[in-house]
Structure 1
Amino acid sequence: MITFSGVARRSRAALVTALLTAAALSTAAGAAPTSHPAPGPPARPATPTPRTVSAWLPYWDQEGAYQDALLHADQLHTVSPFWYEAVSAGRIDAHPGAGERRIIDGLHRAGTKVVPTVMETMKSGALAAILTSPARRTEHADALMRTVATRDYDGLDLDYESIAATGDATYVSVRDGFTALATDLCRRLHALGKQCVITVFPKTATTGRIWDYAALGRVADRIRIMGYNLHWSGGDPGPLADTRWYDDILTRATALVPAAKLEMGLPAYGWDWPADSTSTSATKHVTWKEAEALRAAKGAPYRFDEVSGTPYFTYDDGTESREVWYQDARGVAVHLPVLRKHGVSGTALWALDFEDPEVWPVLAGR
């Protein structure tokens, strides 16, 4: 069943922080984590470019993200509106604006597939209880299929992240339960000619609890790796991504999943930390647009960390020193050779209307 719940009443900032914090919990558990000067408008290519990019469309910036998607439809093969949340075995709630037909129809006319994301932030143990029960798994798969049937969708993207908080004693059974759910769901979606996409944490040398890449790679059409939050809101300042980190992630991923099925998730956002690790001030989420506006307002010089391949700057807010790390087109250009090295051409942008506009010609030339 699809209902509007308390999810619809959450503030944008609270939900964004909750989602990206959940994505970063795997780092705290010993695993991989999840989630320049302002340029002018990007030049439009003279001929259609390879459609190697998918992107998430945030419901809290729905119109801006939709217009951004239309502007770059020649590069976007798939848009995943961040529209649904699984809250129990038989219930999928809708975020505000979910299923807007104008957006679905407009993207389809532009030649872009619409594969909405179903996420979850269940309380500890709730997802595990669903995944380890065959009856509840079937009930949940039924609910997901009802969701995809509500509109002219081209498939579903599952972004389930509670595995990071699953205890060691139940980790294997929960992981295998998710594989069973994904196998059932993908089979059903494929029977209808629809796509099955799974979003996962990065797997690295220090990975702890994570979904089964190899098994999911056999049943899903695409596996999206959240290549961001190397440093996150709950930790010390630093880059959200790193060339060496990407190399480690893709070395392991391509050994388990065909490179053609992989999409590397690229951040179009950043974090604004207090520079003093003992500070009690909040770390703030910023999009590329917000980071650049803040940098300009503070008159802070643009800096680029050559080691990680990411921009950053520092400023004084009147009470303390702050440090902002984010991602822009220059950083993406530094990271793309790592993807090429591993034969990965797919990318997934988090998220539309967050990004440096110059990232599109960079991706077009990849």
Structure 2
Amino acid sequence: MITARTSRKALSLTALVCALATALPSSAVASGPRDTPDTGAAHRTASAWLPYWDQENAYQDALRHAGQLHTVSPFWYKAAAADRIEGHPGAGDARIITGLHRAGIDVVPTVMDMDTMKPGELARILTTPALRAAHTAALVRLARSHGYDGIDLDYETITTTATPEYRKVRSAYAAFVTGLCAKLHAARKQCVVTVSPQTAATGRIWDYAVIGRAADRMRIMAYDLHWSGGPPGPLSSTAWYGEILRRATAVVPPGKIEMALPGYGWDWPADGSRSARHVTWKQAEALRRKVGAPYALDPASGTPHFTYRDGDEPRAVWYQDARGASVQLAAVRKYGVHNTSLWALGFEDPGLWKVLARQ
């Protein structure tokens, strides 16, 4: 979200401390037909992000669930300048791209903007026609490389300026998405746009109506209702999903919406005095068993949680699992949304895939 660091932001920053980003390879492989046709498309209602800092584990997870995945978005690229897209470690791995294609899965890598440019630079690019055109061209070049099937645009720090400038940037971003999607479609590539939840108080930078018309799919990051830098609480809830989808489905066809679900959680100091630690589902469950905490599903949100003590410090863990997702997805189905995304491969409760199969 604009007002908070998301889980993916925290994770990508951690990984970036450990490894230097690699530049986008200059040689491009022309996009071509799949080796194997997608024979199970009717059963594929899920997409998922593949984190570069746990690439092999995430890739194997994707292959295990290939029958349900129509798209995998490797979290590989970052916008570094108007005319430059750079790669994270492992970006463009031909073995992974080929393996996913052979499994009938589209490869639509993510380009993110978090902590990649100085404050205000992206807003300047969007509102300057020549720079916006250069940035569009750079993204189209990337989409045409490595046999990719399109691009997932994940720009989360567009602007935090005062309202008059904010409205200008919002309009410019909508125009940018419209132009980018048109050029990607002309190149026979998919245009996927990731957005944060839009409620009465959040997500105003994104013009859902325009994005919904231009993009093939709009992914809503339906997590971090409570985030690492705030007080403990559920990452998502049925009521929150309802609020998000009432707004989204009023202006975007449900078939174009992907509700992105969390496969992780946060481990906070109980008083919320410091930032939370990120935990995958596996880590949260291992910790719960280690400390002997009973399993509890919060009935109001549909989210598992527990408390424990780390020495003298009381702590609170909220996360998501298959049982909780089953409760929350009932709210999603109510609005006719049957496509989901997962943040992220390798984080999730394996039982989640059976729940998604019922979507």
> Normalising TM by the smaller chain, what interval?
0.7 to 0.9
Q: TM-score, length-normalised on structure 1?
A: 0.86
SS in 2 for 1:246: helix
1:212 is matched with which residue?
207
* Structure 2 residue 208 is the aligned partner of structure 1 residue 186: no
The answer to whether the 8 A contact 2:160-2:166 is kept is no
* Structure 2 residue 353 is the aligned partner of structure 1 residue 360: yes
The answer to whether the 8 A contact 1:266-1:348 is kept is yes
Distance in 1 (CA, whole Å) between partners of 2:10 and 2:263 is 20
Name which of 249, 253, 258 aligns with 2:244: 249
Measured against aligned partners, the alpha-carbon deviations of 1:323-345 in whole angstroms (never above 9, x if no partner) come to 00000001110011111110101
* Structure 2 residue 64 is the aligned partner of structure 1 residue 65: no
The 3 A distance-change label for structure 1 pair 346 and 13 is closer
Q: Structure with the greater relative contact order (CA < 8 A, sep ≥ 6): 1 or 2?
A: 1
Name which of 230, 233, 237 aligns with 2:225: 230
* Structure 2 residue 99 is the aligned partner of structure 1 residue 113: no
The 3 A distance-change label for structure 1 pair 15 and 212 is farther
1:343 is matched with which residue?
336
Distance in 2 (CA, whole Å) between partners of 1:305 and 1:296 is 18
The 3 A distance-change label for structure 1 pair 225 and 48 is closer
Residue 15 of structure 1, CA deviation: 3.9
Residue 124 of structure 1, CA deviation: 2.1
SS in 2 for 1:240: coil
Identity over aligned residues, as a percent?
62
* Structure 2 residue 154 is the aligned partner of structure 1 residue 159: yes
Residue 13 of structure 1, CA deviation: 6.6
Residue 208 of structure 1, CA deviation: 5.7
1:298 is matched with which residue?
291
- Give the length in aligned residue pairs: 327
2:136 is matched with which residue?
141
The answer to whether the 8 A contact 1:49-1:74 is kept is no
Distance in 2 (CA, whole Å) between partners of 1:325 and 1:164 is 30
Distance in 1 (CA, whole Å) between partners of 2:77 and 2:12 is 17
When structure 1 is superposed on structure 2, of 91-100 and 200-209 the one drifting more is 200-209
The answer to whether the 8 A contact 1:124-1:165 is kept is no
Measured against aligned partners, the alpha-carbon deviations of 1:177-223 in whole angstroms (never above 9, x if no partner) come to 11121111111111121100000011112236321000011110000
The answer to whether the 8 A contact 1:171-1:209 is kept is no
When structure 1 is superposed on structure 2, of 223-232 and 334-343 the one drifting more is 334-343
Residue 295 of structure 1, CA deviation: 1.4
When structure 1 is superposed on structure 2, of 298-307 and 264-273 the one drifting more is 298-307
2:49 is matched with which residue?
56
Aligned counterparts, 1:38-53, within 5 A: 50-53=43-46
Residue 147 of structure 1, CA deviation: 1.4
1:37 is matched with which residue?
none
**Amino acid across the alignment from 1:330:** R
Residue 105 of structure 1, CA deviation: 0.3
SS in 2 for 1:170: helix
The answer to whether the 8 A contact 1:163-1:209 is kept is no
1:4 is matched with which residue?
none
Aligned counterparts, 1:95-114, within 5 A: 95-114=88-107
The 3 A distance-change label for structure 1 pair 132 and 239 is same
- 5+ long unaligned stretches in structure 2: 1-8, 18-39
**Amino acid across the alignment from 1:332:** A
Measured against aligned partners, the alpha-carbon deviations of 1:47-87 in whole angstroms (never above 9, x if no partner) come to 99721000000000100000000000000000000000002
Distance in 2 (CA, whole Å) between partners of 1:63 and 1:225 is 26
1:7 is matched with which residue?
none
The 3 A distance-change label for structure 1 pair 246 and 164 is farther
1:76 is matched with which residue?
69
Distance in 2 (CA, whole Å) between partners of 1:316 and 1:51 is 42
- 5+ long unaligned stretches in structure 1: 1-9, 19-46
SS in 1 for 2:345: coil
